[in-house]
Structure 1
């Protein structure tokens, strides 16, 4: 099968279009014929060796954790799915070797979710990592309609999805972003605040009694968080483990087929919107990594593997 792979750590230039063996399918696994994958910042960090202390890599490795496609083959004892089912998954494994930047990938059945009618493979592939991260974050904050919540980087890949999920709880949602994204957040019911110097004063103007919960999707904002968070308030971060020293929670997303199915249902009903910047063919994965690393994309970059 065709796959983008890398034989050593490095930047996007170590990626090459190669022929790799088709994966095998074991018990309680699915082989997915990949139509679309997508790019997340963690992908190029993994390729650079940035997560080597946490996750083993076996070279040559195929990168990528987001996937949409159709079931090509099921392993023994896999009654949940059948050949031909459209599925999506956050397909992170504990060893980086057989990722989703390839024509086929094998995943545990519990990672997979059916793609509903009316949801494109592009959207389904753009959702798993960012959507599940957003869902896990909002669930961890346990928001109610009595809460005021502050989301740092509310217009970004994870933040924009978390903003929509937070609004659905009935909470008052404040979101930091650049001025050019103010209207984007207003359209989904978020009160936008410019990030950077003076943020604490702007939050206090919007919430004079402080905020009940904070989610950090960018890092480097712990001091601001603690300055506006009420006593007993909840705060989580996906970017700064230092929150653990101040009563907060540091979150990592988990593969979760059931959770992804919920998110895809919200997309189908029009209650959740996924930002897509562009779709590029598999052989342009190095360019997709460059765009992501340079911050030159507005929304997810989807990778067209095959149709």
Structure 2
């Protein structure tokens, strides 16, 4: 099978298309023929030398933590899944490949209304956003500030918060303001004066905030939100402890992913696809995600 992997940390160009044997599923596992795999900021961090907690990076290392595809071969003891079933799911590393093996309880059915390219990028951003909105206890009495609101995680987070009845303010580049308005979000531009601009559109204050942008957004949230337990970040690795706010890791599960699929199928969740790259252009996909301030999700197709 073909896979996009790297042999040593470095810039995007260390990613290479290589040939590897197809993996074999063990008990309770399935082999999936991958159709699309999402590209996440965490993938870029691993490529640059970061190791996910509890995971040993070994070379050649295949990246990718989310996918959509077709069941190719169920392993021993697997019931309820058959060859040809359309699924989406998650695992830690190994998704930038034509085939992968994953525990059967880490996939859910992909309905026909959910395109494979969208499904391939749903789990990472979707489950991160779903976890964040849940952990920050966002509800109808809240004014919720989301930094990088037009990005992959932000796009899902603002929609989930709106479904929960919250007023949502989102920071984004001006080119994405109309997009945020279409999601029911009050847009605010990045840059100097951010705190004052947020206060101008939130006269009754901000009660919770999710940072998917970095240090500037997180520092602004600390000025705006009184309860630091209701401020979370998914990107400011080196700052959250100093500021006394929360690191929000994704609590992935098939049940959480299934909730997101249901919302999409019901027309309550919109997923923006920024760009789909073929597997051999994994380096270009990493360049794209690394630019920041992009709208929606980048995926690789196999």
Q: Does the pair score TM above 0.5? A: yes
Q: Would you say 1:74 and 2:71 are equivalent positions?
A: no
Contact 2:3 2:98 in 1 (8 A): yes
Q: Which runs of 5+ in 2 are unaligned?
A: none
Name 1:257's counterpart in structure 2.
Answer: 254
Q: Which residue of the other structure, out of 166, 170, 175, is the alignment partner of 1:180? A: 175
Contact 1:2 1:17 in 2 (8 A): yes
Structure 1's 39 and 73: CA in aligned 2 closer, same or farther, altered over 3 A? Answer: same
Task: Give the Cα separation in 1 of the matches to 2:294 and 2:204.
Answer: 36
Structure 1's 259 and 34: CA in aligned 2 closer, same or farther, altered over 3 A? Answer: same
TM-score under structure 2 length normalisation: 0.92
Task: Give the Cα separation in 2 of the matches to 1:290 and 1:59.
Answer: 21
DSSP-derived class of the 1:211 partner: coil
| 1:217-236 equivalent positions in 2, closer than 5 A | 217-220=212-215, 221-231=217-227, 234-236=230-232
Q: Which residue of the other structure, out of 144, 153, 156, is the alignment partner of 1:149? A: 144
Name 1:266's counterpart in structure 2.
Answer: 263
Q: Which residue of the other structure, out of 279, 284, 290, is the alignment partner of 1:282? A: 279
Structure 1's 4 and 243: CA in aligned 2 closer, same or farther, altered over 3 A? Answer: closer
Task: Give the Cα separation in 2 of the matches to 1:245 and 1:297.
Answer: 28
DSSP-derived class of the 1:72 partner: strand
Deviations, residues 165-222 of structure 1 (Å, cap 9, x unaligned): 1110001111111222111111111111112211111222222332111111112133
Q: Would you say 1:38 and 2:38 are equivalent positions?
A: yes
Name 1:22's counterpart in structure 2.
Answer: 22
Structure 1's 200 and 298: CA in aligned 2 closer, same or farther, altered over 3 A? Answer: closer
Is the strand fraction higher in 1 or 2?
1
| 1:1-307 equivalent positions in 2, closer than 5 A | 1-51=1-51, 55-92=55-92, 96=93, 99-220=94-215, 221-231=217-227, 234-241=230-237, 242-295=239-292, 298-305=295-302
Deviations, residues 280-301 of structure 1 (Å, cap 9, x unaligned): 2111112212222234854322
Q: Which runs of 5+ in 1 are unaligned?
A: none
Q: How many residues align?
A: 300
Contact 2:273 2:297 in 1 (8 A): yes
Structure 1's 302 and 222: CA in aligned 2 closer, same or farther, altered over 3 A? Answer: closer
Structure 1's 269 and 53: CA in aligned 2 closer, same or farther, altered over 3 A? Answer: closer
TM-score under structure 1 length normalisation: 0.91
Tell me the CA shift for residue 90 of structure 1. Answer: 2.0
Task: Give the Cα separation in 1 of the matches to 2:36 and 2:21.
Answer: 19
Task: Give the Cα separation in 1 of the matches to 2:288 and 2:204.
Answer: 41
Deviations, residues 124-168 of structure 1 (Å, cap 9, x unaligned): 002110111111111111122111111111111111111111110
Structure 1's 231 and 139: CA in aligned 2 closer, same or farther, altered over 3 A? Answer: closer
Tell me the CA shift for residue 245 of structure 1. Answer: 5.0
Tell me the CA shift for residue 81 of structure 1. Answer: 2.2
Task: Give the Cα separation in 2 of the matches to 1:195 and 1:54.
Answer: 35
Structure 1's 223 and 31: CA in aligned 2 closer, same or farther, altered over 3 A? Answer: same
Task: Give the Cα separation in 2 of the matches to 1:296 and 1:204.
Answer: 22
